[in-house]
Amino acid sequence: MTKLYGAIEAGGTKFVCAVADENLNIVERVSIPTTVPEETMSDVFKFFEKHEVQAIGIASFGPIDVNRKSSTYGYLTNTPKPGWKNYDFLGEMKKRFDVPYAWTTDVNGAAYGELKKGAALGKDSCVYLTVGTGIGGGVVINGKVIEGYGHPEIGHIIMRRHPEDKYEGKCPFHHDCLEGLAAGPAIEARQGGVKAYDIPKDDKAWEIVAYYLAQACVDLTLTLSPEKIIFGGGVSKQEQLFPMIRESFKKQMNDYVPTPDLDDYIVHVELGDDAGITGCFLLAMEAE
């Protein structure tokens, strides 16, 4: 009999739930708006009541508790999203479906999907960075997603400022961290509210963004030494950023450590919107 697996990519805007067989052929996939837990989760439960799955992989927006020693393991923690703060996501799933679970961040899920089926296929390590409304980073090293006391929060690493950047930064916690300087809303605020996709491709704004993203790549290279750094999210649709990030990376790294050829090292996501759900299925299969 065909074994089925479940996947939930839980985002701040929508939850994607899917069921697939062991070859990743999708049996059913739905998108559920993220409103309040009572509403959204009720639809999630209904979806999984229709399918008998061996295991479920969940990759969730956060912050989430991934520390197995913690009494709130499986909870969403400090999210500003109304109703979701301290919600016992994993616990509520387990109450209804008694199967093995994989539980990690949305970006770790995407990183894992890209490693096994996407841009980092054949590698053992990668970092996945999404640059959109916020910046989030997932890390896989030696084939395992990285979690420790908590999970990586690469979007909030502290930045050395671009010498010509006078923008104060948008992060409510740190002002000028990576997300505060280079996520979509920061890019738009720096330009006085011009939509990011309306900023001309040769505008100085992109050089500044590339400088910060390159700086993050330098820090990630120095700390983790991954085989690939993969960019996704709305801002990464600005293809002109990639050569600029590579060039700035080269300058900032100043040949200190060897890296793969930069054209193969700093790359665009390959699975696009399917990275997260793919990662969830693969993690579910391993959790079984």
* Residues binding Zn ion (CB under 5 A): 156, 171, 173-174, 177
Report the distance separating Cα 61 and Cα 269, nearest Å.
Answer: 19
Closest distance of CB 156 from Zn ion, Å = 4
Question: What backbone phi and psi angles, to 5 degrees, belong to 116?
Answer: -85, -30
Q: Which stretch binds ligand ADP (CB under 6 A): 115-123, 233-241, 259-267, 276-284?
A: 233-241
Burial of 66-81, coded b for 16+ CB within 10 Å and e otherwise, reads: beeeeeeebbbbebee
- Residue (188 or 227) nearer to ligand ADP, CB: 188
Is 72 a binder of ligand ADP (CB under 6 A)? no
Among 113, 184, 276, 279, binds ligand ADP (CB under 6 A): 184
Is 15 within 8 Å of 40 (Cβ atoms)?
A: yes
Is 33 within 8 Å of 83 (Cβ atoms)?
A: no
From the list Zn ion, ligand ADP, none, partner contacted by residue 174 (C-beta under 5 to 8 A by kind):
Zn ion
User: What is the torsion angle, in degrees rounded to the nearest 10, for the CA atoms of residue 253, residue 256, residue 261 and residue 267?
Assistant: -30
Q: Which stretch binds ligand ADP (CB under 6 A): 46-54, 145-153, 172-180, 231-239?
A: 231-239
- Residue (138 or 155) nearer to Zn ion, CB: 155
Q: Residue 88 CB: number of other CB atoms within 10 A?
A: 16
Is 233 a binder of ligand ADP (CB under 6 A)? yes
Closest distance of CB 234 from ligand ADP, Å = 2
Report the distance separating Cα 174 and Cα 197, nearest Å.
Answer: 26
Interface positions with ligand ADP (CB under 6 A): 13, 132-133, 184-185, 188, 196-197, 233-235, 237-238
